[in-house]
């Protein structure tokens, strides 16, 4: 199944030889089990198989709007890490999609679920403290959008007849070559000026990111089952 939040979805793009102690390698290997557990949650499996509806996808996307609003609440500064590229920002695209999906009023019609609120609260906490742990969420979300997100876009279009106007979330018009961008991102990730302790904290936070997403998928499944 395409990876909603995993940045490593195409074998041809995987680095053949890398330092196992580098941050990117650690993120991939040490979050592997949690990643597999998260992507196997019932809601997301059913959504990607075409067993739900465009309305269910809309519910999911509206919850992502709350997440990305928190993720992108950070004020850029001249001392930012190179990976904090504004071309990755997704909130405007998500809101455009929600308008096209008939959910322009997403704030009132799709309030943040408890799991979403916990996720967003954690992101805002990291933004407020400018913690290196923010890197973990930046990595898991945006590289997931650039990788598995592209296949997800095709599946949502195929299964639920979503239009291009409803799938802007997955289009990065400012990034011409996704493969090259992701390669540079990983290089920049490994070059971040983080201490060993900070790098370990980023890996720990990446595990938490998968847990937040898994809890959100589980909560989204409840009304889907009832329907």
pTM attached to this predicted model? 0.91
pLDDT digits (tens, 9 = 90+) for 42-63: 999 999 999 999 999 999 999 9
Output the pLDDT for position 224.
55
The number of helices, as runs of H, and strands, as runs of E, in the chain is 11, 0
pLDDT of residue 18: 59
The span from the CA of 151 to the CA of 127, in Å, is 30
DSSP E strand boundaries for the chain: none
- Residue 226, pLDDT > 80, answer no
- Determine how many CB atoms are found less than 10 A away from the CB of residue 181: 19
């Amino acid at each position: 199944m395409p990876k909603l939040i995993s940045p490593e979805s195409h074998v041809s793009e995987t680095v053949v030889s890398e330092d196992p102690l580098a941050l990117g390698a650690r993120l991939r290997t040490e979050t592997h089990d949690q990643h597999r557990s998260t992507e196997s949650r019932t809601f997301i499996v059913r959504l990607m198989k075409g067993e739900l509806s465009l309305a269910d996808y809309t519910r999911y996307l509206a919850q992502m709007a709350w997440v990305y609003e928190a993720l992108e609440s950070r004020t850029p500064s001249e001392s930012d890490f190179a990976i904090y590229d504004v071309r990755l920002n997704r909130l405007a695209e998500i809101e455009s999609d929600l308008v096209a999906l008939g959910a322009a009023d997403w704030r009132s019609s799709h309030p943040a679920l408890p799991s979403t609120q916990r996720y967003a609260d954690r992101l805002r906490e990291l933004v407020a403290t400018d913690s290196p742990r923010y890197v973990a969420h930046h990595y898991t979300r945006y590289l997931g959008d650039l990788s598995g997100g592209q296949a997800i876009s095709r599946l949502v279009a195929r299964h639920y007849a979503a239009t291009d106007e409803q799938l802007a979330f997955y289009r990065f018009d400012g990034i011409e070559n996704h493969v090259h961008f992701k390669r540079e991102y990983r290089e920049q990730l490994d070059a971040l000026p983080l201490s060993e302790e900070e790098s370990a904290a980023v890996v720990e936070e990446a595990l938490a990111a998968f847990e937040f997403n898994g809890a959100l998928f589980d909560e989204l499944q409840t009304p889907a089952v009832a329907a």
